[in-house]
Amino acid sequence: MEASSDDEKRPMVDLVKDKNGTDQVLLQNPKGASVKISLHGGQVLSWKTERNDELLFTSAKANSKPPQPVRGGIPICFPQFGTRGSLEQHGFARNKMWLVENDPPALPSFDPTDKAYVDLVLKSSDEDTRMIWPHCFEFHLRVSLGLDGNLTLISRVRNINSKPFSFSIAYHTYFSISDISEVRVEGLETLDYLDNLLDKERFTEQGDALTFESEIDRVYLNSKDVVAVFDHERKRTFLIEKEGLPDVVVWNPWDKKAKALPDLGDEEYKHMLCVDGAAIEKPITLKPGEEWTGKLSLSLVLST
């Protein structure tokens, strides 16, 4: 019995399959919190507390068969965000099959103590990718779940080409919320933002905190390293900490746009809010042999 108890206290990493046979990685910490990542898109699909509360939104109408991305979780938008470029919307990384990397490049700053984690990799080795984006790269992604239940994504993009290239990136995080009218976002005060609903026109945020009464689609520029999403009804706060990701995307489609999206229920917009750590306004340029690192850490704070 004691041995069994010891086993239960170790971080767990398991390879599982979804109903369509797509490989997924399940991370569990010793307290019972979990994270599920699909190798299709390297996409985090689930982040649960030790009480089994789901913290990420996924639409009940979401596509689950590759190559379509899943509406929800944390799709990775790379090497393009939105339609800012010649590629398909949000780039190709979220539609590609990633590989589990058994021998990843060293990451000295990472402390593995009590963490369940997995390394994934996407390389520019298939012809389809090179035809639409003719650059040689390696994208290494480490997803980790801490003993405290915090979810961390560390991305490293390396240029293995003979010429420079530029890219944008966003972790398009769908937070599960009680009701969009009960939520506020802090940490974006007085920042400039690009309004995608007004042809990317630039404005300056005036209010103390961001609240929601209609559709929103903005890129906040040069934000603080910590942004908070307060959910009053559920008495919980998401803290978004980021490194190498100067911008923050805030998106909710509201009722009209939601009805036009085939993979989102008409009323589901009320229970989701996307707040992304991103690098969009100033694309990242890598010379041959250079590497960029970005880090997103998500944590949950419960209030009494």
pLDDT, tens digit, for every residue of 109-160?
Answer: 999 999 999 999 999 877 778 888 889 999 999 999 999 999 999 999 999 9
CB 253 within 8 A of CB 269: yes
The closest of 20, 57, 54, 12 to 38, measured between CA atoms, is 20
How much is the mean pLDDT over the chain?
A: 92
Q: What is the rounded CA–CA span in Å between residue 270 and residue 9?
A: 37
pLDDT higher at 67 or 147: 147
Q: What is the rounded CA–CA span in Å between residue 169 and residue 191?
A: 20
- Tell me what pLDDT residue 85 has: 61
- Tell me what pLDDT residue 279 has: 96
From edge to edge, which strands make up the β-sheet containing 23-28?
12-17, 23-28, 34-38, 43-48
Is 89 annotated among the ligand-binding residues? yes
Contacts of 243 (CB under 8 A, 6+ apart): 225, 293, 294, 295
pTM given for the model: 0.94
Q: What is the rounded CA–CA span in Å between residue 227 and residue 214?
A: 21
